C-alpha cells in the first residue's frame, strides 16, 4: 500500500542542492571547452545527458525501500569482486591503466561500482553489530577483509586514487561506528608503517607524482606542468576573478585536463576567491545535509548507508581540491557533480538517490 509520507517527506533540499552544484559545473564546462573544435556532441551537453540519467536513477532508487539492499549486499559484493577480476584479465587498457570493461556504447569502470558496494556491505555489518565501548581489533577482521580485497584489485589496475578513496570511505564509516582507543592507536601505527612500505610497491610514474608534488619546479615542462599551471590559474583569479569565459590559463590552453581533473582551476580563475568560497559553501552544505540525513535515519543500516555516501562525496572533494592547489599529489580524482565524466556522475547520483531514500523513509518502521 502506498504511503503518502514518501511524497510529503521527499528531500527537495538535497535534490535542489545537487542540481545547483551540477548547474554551476555544466556552466564551467561550457566555458572550459568553448574554444574546442566540435565534431560531435559538445562536452557540456554530454554532461547534461549524464546528469539527466543520474537524476532518473536517483528518483528510481527512491521508489524502493533501501532496507532491501541489506539482504543483497553479499551478492553485490561477489559480483563486484568478479568485475574487478575480469577487468584485470580482459579489461580495456588506456594510457597504461586497465580500468574499464567495454560494453559497446559505453565503458564501465568497476572501481566506481566498488565504492557503492563497499558502502552497502559495511553498512550491513555496522548496522547489525553495535559495540557500546567501541570496536576492538578482533571485531574488525570482517570489515577489514571486505576493504582489503577490492583495494588490492584496484591498486593492480593501477588506480591508486580510487583505491585510497575506498580506504578513506571505510575508515570514515569505522570512525563513526566507534573504536577503542588502543584499537585506534594500533591502526594509526599500522597505517604509517604500511604507507612507508607501500612506497616500494608503487609504479615509477606514481613515485614521480609524489616527488613532483613535493617540488613541481624540478620538472616544470614535464611531470610538474599540471600542478604549476593549475596553481597559476587558481592564483591569477584574485578576489573577484577574470570573468566568465575570460580565463587566460584555460582559454589559451596552458591548463591541461581543464574539463576533468582541473575543472575547479578554471572556475577559480574566472570567479576568483569569492566565487570559489560560494562553491565550497555549497559543497559544505551538501556534506552537512548528508550527516543530517544520517542522524535522522530510521535504523542503523540507514545511518551507516548515509554516512558512507556522504564520506564518498566528501573525500572526492577533499582530494580533488587538494590536488588542484598543490596540497596533494595528482591522482586523477574528479570533483563530484563538477568535473566531466559519465561514470563518476552516475555513481554520485546513485549515492544521492540512496541519501534521498534514507531521508524519505525516516518515519517508516
102 lies in a domain?
yes
What is the pLDDT tens value at each position of the chain, 365 positions in all?
446 666 778 899 999 999 999 999 999 999 988 877 666 778 899 999 999 999 999 999 998 889 999 989 999 999 999 999 998 888 777 666 678 887 766 778 888 889 999 999 999 999 888 777 778 888 888 888 899 999 989 988 878 888 889 999 999 999 998 888 888 888 888 777 777 766 666 667 667 767 766 667 666 666 678 788 888 888 888 899 898 888 888 777 778 778 888 899 999 999 999 999 999 999 999 999 999 999 999 899 999 999 999 999 999 999 999 988 888 888 878 999 999 988 889 999 999 999 999 999 887 65
Residue 226 to residue 224: CA distance in whole angstroms: 6
173 lies in a domain?
yes
365 lies in a domain?
no
105 lies in a domain?
yes
Domain that holds residue 191: 8-35+42-360
28 lies in a domain?
yes
24 lies in a domain?
yes
pLDDT at position 1 is 43
143 lies in a domain?
yes
69 lies in a domain?
yes
Read off the pTM: 0.91
Question: For residue 195, is it left (φ>0), alpha (ψ between -120 and 50) or beta?
Answer: alpha
Number of domains in the chain: 1
Amino acid at each position: 500500500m502506498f504511503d503518502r509520507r514518501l511524497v510529503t517527506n521527499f528531500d527537495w533540499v538535497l535534490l535542489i542542492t545537487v542540481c545547483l552544484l551540477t548547474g554551476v559545473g555544466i556552466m564551467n564546462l561550457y566555458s572550459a571547452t568553448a574554444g574546442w573544435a566540435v565534431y560531435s556532441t559538445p562536452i557540456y551537453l554530454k554532461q547534461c545527458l549524464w546528469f539527466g540519467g543520474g537524476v532518473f536513477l536517483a528518483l528510481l532508487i527512491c521508489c524502493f525501500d533501501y532496507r532491501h539492499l541489506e539482504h543483497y549486499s553479499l551478492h553485490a559484493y561477489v559480483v563486484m569482486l568478479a568485475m574487478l577480476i575480469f577487468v584485470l584479465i580482459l579489461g580495456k587498457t588506456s594510457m597504461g591503466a586497465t580500468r574499464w570493461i567495454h560494453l559497446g556504447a559505453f565503458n564501465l569502470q568497476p572501481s566506481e561500482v566498488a565504492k557503492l558496494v563497499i558502502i552497502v556491505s559495511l553498512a550491513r555489518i555496522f548496522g547489525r553489530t553495535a559495540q557500546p565501548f567501541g570496536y576492538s581489533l578482533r571485531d574488525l577482521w570482517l570489515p577489514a577483509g571486505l576493504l582489503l580485497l577490492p583495494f588490492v584489485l584496484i591498486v593492480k589496475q593501477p588506480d591508486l586514487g580510487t583505491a585510497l578513496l575506498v580506504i578513506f570511505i571505510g575508515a570514515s564509516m569505522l570512525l563513526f561506528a566507534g573504536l577503542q582507543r588502543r584499537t585506534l592507536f594500533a591502526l594509526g601505527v599500522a597505517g604509517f608503517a604500511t604507507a612507508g612500505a607501500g612506497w616500494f610497491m608503487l609504479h615509477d610514474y606514481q613515485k614521480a607524482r609524489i616527488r613532483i608534488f613535493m617540488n613541481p619546479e624540478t620538472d616544470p615542462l614535464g611531470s610538474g606542468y599540471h600542478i604549476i599551471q593549475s596553481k597559476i590559474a587558481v592564483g591569477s583569479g584574485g578576489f573577484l576573478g577574470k570573468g566568465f569565459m575570460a580565463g587566460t590559463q584555460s582559454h589559451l590552453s596552458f591548463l591541461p585536463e581543464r574539463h576533468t581533473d582541473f575543472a575547479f582551476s578554471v572556475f577559480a580563475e574566472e570567479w576568483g576567491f569569492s566565487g570559489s568560497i560560494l562553491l565550497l559553501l555549497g559543497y559544505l552544505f551538501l556534506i552537512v545535509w548528508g550527516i543530517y540525513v544520517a542522524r535522522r535515519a530510521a535504523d542503523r543500516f540507514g545511518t551507516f548507508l548515509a554516512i558512507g555516501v556522504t564520506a564518498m562525496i566528501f573525500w572526492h572533494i577533499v582530494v580533488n581540491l587538494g590536488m588542484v592547489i598543490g596540497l596533494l599529489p595528482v591522482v586523477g580524482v574528479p570533483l563530484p557533480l563538477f568535473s566531466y565524466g559519465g561514470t563518476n556522475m552516475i555513481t554520485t547520483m546513485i549515492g544521492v538517490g540512496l541519501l534521498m531514500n534514507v531521508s524519505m523513509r525516516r518515519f517508516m518502521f
